Amino acid sequence: MYRISKPVVGLIAVALVGFAVALLFHFTLTAKEPLPALNINVQSTPISRETKAATSFAPIIKKAAPSVVNIFSTRVVRAQDNPFRRFYGDNLGPRGRRPRDYRAEGLGSGVIISADGYILTASHVVEGADDVKVALADGKKEISAKVIGFDPASDVALLKVDAKNLPAIILADSDKLEVGDMALAIGNPFGVGQTVTTGIISGLRRDGMGINGENGYENFIQTDAAVNPGNSGGALVDAEGRLIGINTAIFSLSGGNQGIGFAVPVNLAREMMERILKDGKVTHGYLGVNMQTLTPDLAKEFNVPVPDGVLIGGVMAGTPAEKAGIKELDVIAEFNGKKITDSRQLRLAVMQTPAQTKVTLKIFRGGAAKTLTATLAESADDSQTAKTSNDSRSTNKIAGDALQGMTVTNLTSSLRRQFRVSGRVQGAIITAVDIDCPAADAGLSAGDVIIEINHQPVSTADETIELGHKSTNGRVLLRVWSRDEDGSSNTRFTMIQTGKR
């Protein structure tokens, strides 16, 4: 055993104290300023759903309307952005004149969510704006606003004005909404001034409409409360005047309200807002797989012991999915411990998770369960180029068995251009589908590309027909490439059976 003399102990003690003081001083100088804490009022209790005969919505409006503001944004459109450039060359306009810069103005709405000046609105209301001003509901004050950040993928933006004691709205829990709940929309449609309309929640978790673009995050509340241009960014409130959504879009063939409006759920808007406040931007996770919802037929085909999940139709090279060991035909049943029942749920879970987050995935492969770990990348456009196939010609009508009623042909350069089929895709393209055939029942249509039949790759129309005729039980498993209405592409498995209508 060794002993340390008292003088040495004293010197060590002094040294340690000095080191601690120096370390504290270092962190005092280098520590970042604390992030501002949002002082928002959230009430998670659902509304009372007892039947009541309301004679007036005035008390609700008096509570919520002061929190809804008008937003005026301006953007300078530069000469090089002017469409004249495409037609006249060298930025010359009609009669050889150079087009001048001009100022474009936008109109929208927003919602005060904290008394010290934070305002939620839609990303498209302020994106690209050079100047943003906010007019309070009383119309007596117009304040310059700073855009803290915005997220086009969810259509959420956060603004800040230099003001105090503003009338902040109360936030509800949008996860507790039910179809049929009353909803009121407050905003500034067409610039006529603050307007209130009423309706109900017509639908929940609406997605796949391409409102926020190919890589957008869509999980909308649908309402029939009248929403028109200028309402964007405004409030959708419940029967107690609490914020349940940020109005973002309408479905309309005329440009005006037709009873189908969409709002970003306040829970999602709040999450994006907090990430904007923390990092100045929002990053969305990316896994790198083609996915489709597992059906009972597919579960039986691939020997999956669970009824729900997401079947992986392909894994992109170099992506987090490939690095994690996910393989084609795996079925993802859980994401970070949460059960996954369909492809929409998995896509939203991935996109809602920040990039560089490590996640766990429970999968089934060949009937056996496995747990994998993936580190999500940042979502980005999937733009890859490849050589096009040759222009061999062959068109065939398939008759008999499960593939009857389809017309397929070899993929040509012109067909690739017409249906926007990537050069990476090899197979036989469907050019027509009879309306009353099994393929139509399975959701196949012109422009889809058959790339496998019963797990065997095909590259020509002749191979497709040959393999189709080899199926004698009237049951065929196809792997199909298709392009969605929003422009995105995917591969999926489809089971076709004769007599199943």
Catalytically active residues are: 124, 155, 232
Q: Using DSSP, state whether 459 is helix, strand or coil.
A: coil
Distant-in-sequence, close-in-space partners of 423: CB < 8 Å, separation ≥ 6: 385, 386, 387, 388, 389, 416
φ and ψ at 64, to 5 degrees?
A: -100, -35
Provide the token pair at 67: 């929190």
Provide the greatest CA pair distance for the chain.
100
DSSP state of 341: -
Distance from C-alpha of 58 to C-alpha of 203, rounded to nearest angstrom: 25
Q: What is the 3-state secondary structure (H, E, C) of 115-152?
A: CCCEEEECHHHHCCCCEEEEECCCCCCEEEEEEEEEEC
Distance from C-alpha of 397 to C-alpha of 435, rounded to nearest angstrom: 14
Going from the C-alpha of 202 to that of each of 45, 210, 330, the distances in angstroms are 21, 19, 35
Residue for token digits 């150079």? Answer: 98
Burial 441-467 (b: 16+ CB within 10 A, else e): ebebeebbbbbbbeeeebebbebbbeb
Q: Using DSSP, state whether 288 is helix, strand or coil.
A: coil
The answer to whether 184 touches 61, Cβ cutoff 8 Å, is yes
Provide the token pair at 184: 């009121």
Provide the token pair at 268: 């999602």
